Amino acid sequence: MINFNSFLLYTGVALLTLLLSTPGYSQEIHSQPEHFCATPPERDERLNYYQQNLGNYRFLTDDTQFIPLKIHILGRNDGTGYTSRTMVEEAFCKMNEAFQQTGIQFFIKGEINYINNTEWYSHSSFGPGSEMILTNNVPGALNSYIVDVAAGACGYYSPATDGVVLANNCLDPANHTWAHEIGHQLTLPHTFFGWEGTTYEPDEPTPERIWFRGGWVDVEKMDGSNCREAADGFCDTAPDYLSFRWGCSANNPLGIFLTDPLGETERVNGANIMSYSSGPCRHDFSEEQTQAMRMNILLDRPDLVDQTIEYGPVAPEVNIIHPTQDDIVQYDDAYLKWESVPNATYYRVQVSALPIFTNLLVDEVVQDTFMQLPQLILENEHLVRIKPLSEFQPCNDFSERRAFIASELSNTELFPGTDFKMKVVNPASLNRGVDIELKGLEESDLRSVRIHLSDINGRLVSQLESQQFTGNKVHFETGRLAAGIYVVTLITESGGSISERVILQ
């Protein structure tokens, strides 16, 4: 058997010529690598067994298999160069879309693993890539690594170490690079297996077989007579001899005419994900490829299968509790609060001070349903939108946007001639209680106020007189209260008042 290293020798010169990029070249201006896939073209021995037993295992189970996938994003030693999480998640979702037809669906296992290692981040040969995979693979999951340079290709699967490596500039959804490499990981060969490294010549007779890595591989005939023995061994993938990247369009997956060893002619079909067509026509796995991948998971990777996993879809609607539409909020003390969305485990929150979501003030991923906002722009309308997500569904639409105004709510009219401000710490915790600070007041003014804590329906739950304050600090014990939204109201001697909401959690 030919090992990984000899494959490197076999394609090494071609790969290395791709890697003469200038140091410091930013990833934005990298062009795509010339090589689509650097997976060593070896037939997986398990695949022979699957192909001999396609009928027997057809009905092993029809259930959708939810498979954990660990994502590793590489950066340089100094922590720069990470591919954006959004880009990786979108590519992940496109990959999952491609796998929907197979009844295999991936979910992201745990947090994304960020790794700082310049050598792994940009590896022109397989050595550092293998080391990266061996060092970081998480058991009980398929592992995928997002790097800057992946052995000079868009991606590869390393059979020796069982990891998929993807170049960040090939995550473009149209390429389906991720689905292609996971196809390899689940034992699928290229549809043109045997032609890797050999260029099909339309003007020359097509041989019966090709000498390939120390053995003969039969060339697949158009009449299907040798489909099980030839090429990829699948009878429902059409003959394909093209081991170079070729173009096709969404509505026409057909390429050049291929002539088989018997002189029969058909146009090559690039719809299969395991072909080398580049472009939007590539979106299919065949029925037999699907069976083989499912057999690989059920028979040879049982540690990936957890039948108890239940997937619940995440709707994009979010009920934003605070601020309300057109609310006026304190520009340097504003917060967001929303209702948790069924099945969502985290949220992407964006706040913009412009009518469109660009130059964002906030673009964060949080697990909570509360966020303290940074300083907003005074007397300006702001927009917030929230995208509920889960490890099963890291892509979704944003909620409807909510508009609110940032202003200076100094309440000076309550105490003319002062800079009075009531600052309520949000969110408050049931254990620690509610803390309030009364800023900018003379002691004589402080002595004339009292503070009420009411529930959201206006029912008084507690009150404090000024002699119970500690200087300008006010503290409510909340141990007996239920979590929820409450209202803090300061009332002056003359009956004037201001209120602010507090979240108890």
| List of residues contacting Zn ion (CB under 5 A) | 37, 39
- Using the minimum distance from each CB to Zn ion, give the nearer residue, 89 or 284: 284
- Using the minimum distance from each CB to Zn ion, give the nearer residue, 39 or 291: 39
| Cα 395 to the center of its chain, rounded Å | 7
Task: Tell me if residue 100 falls in helix, strand or coil.
Answer: helix
Whether the CB-CB separation of 411 and 438 falls below 8 Å is answered with: no
Whether the CB-CB separation of 394 and 69 falls below 8 Å is answered with: no
- Using the minimum distance from each CB to Zn ion, give the nearer residue, 37 or 108: 37
Min CB(237)–Zn ion separation in Å? 14
Cα distances from 143 to residues 10, 215, 281, in angstroms, run 26, 31, 27
Min CB(221)–Zn ion separation in Å? 23
Min CB(183)–Zn ion separation in Å? 8
Whether the CB-CB separation of 133 and 155 falls below 8 Å is answered with: no
Min CB(264)–Zn ion separation in Å? 26
Min CB(256)–Zn ion separation in Å? 20
- Using the minimum distance from each CB to Zn ion, give the nearer residue, 37 or 304: 37
DSSP sequence for 256-288: EEEE-TTS-EEEEE--BTTS-EESTT--B--HH
Rounded Cα distance, 371 and 437, in Å:
20
- Using the minimum distance from each CB to Zn ion, give the nearer residue, 193 or 486: 193
Whether the CB-CB separation of 14 and 33 falls below 8 Å is answered with: no
- Using the minimum distance from each CB to Zn ion, give the nearer residue, 37 or 95: 37
Ramachandran class of 446: left when φ > 0, alpha when ψ lies in -120 to 50, beta otherwise: alpha
Min CB(81)–Zn ion separation in Å? 25
Position of minimal CB gap to Zn ion: 37
Provide the token pair at 170.
């090939």
Min CB(180)–Zn ion separation in Å? 5
**How are beta strands 153-158 and 163-167 bridged, if at all?**
antiparallel
Whether the CB-CB separation of 366 and 341 falls below 8 Å is answered with: no
Min CB(104)–Zn ion separation in Å? 18
Min CB(276)–Zn ion separation in Å? 8
- Using the minimum distance from each CB to Zn ion, give the nearer residue, 242 or 441: 242
- Using the minimum distance from each CB to Zn ion, give the nearer residue, 39 or 185: 39
- Using the minimum distance from each CB to Zn ion, give the nearer residue, 288 or 500: 288
For residue 480, how many other CB atoms are within 10 A of its CB? Answer: 8
Angle of CA points 239, 153, 146, to nearest 5°: 115
Min CB(190)–Zn ion separation in Å? 5
Provide the token pair at 137.
């693979």
Phi then psi dihedrals of residue 7, to 5 deg = -65, -35
Give the single-character DSSP code of 433.
Answer: B
Of 149, 132, 126, the closest CA to residue 20 belongs to 149
Min CB(39)–Zn ion separation in Å? 4
Rg (CA), the chain: 30
Rounded Cα distance, 244 and 36, in Å:
8
| Cα 84 to the center of its chain, rounded Å | 9
- Using the minimum distance from each CB to Zn ion, give the nearer residue, 156 or 331: 156
Rounded Cα distance, 266 and 260, in Å:
8
- Using the minimum distance from each CB to Zn ion, give the nearer residue, 37 or 438: 37
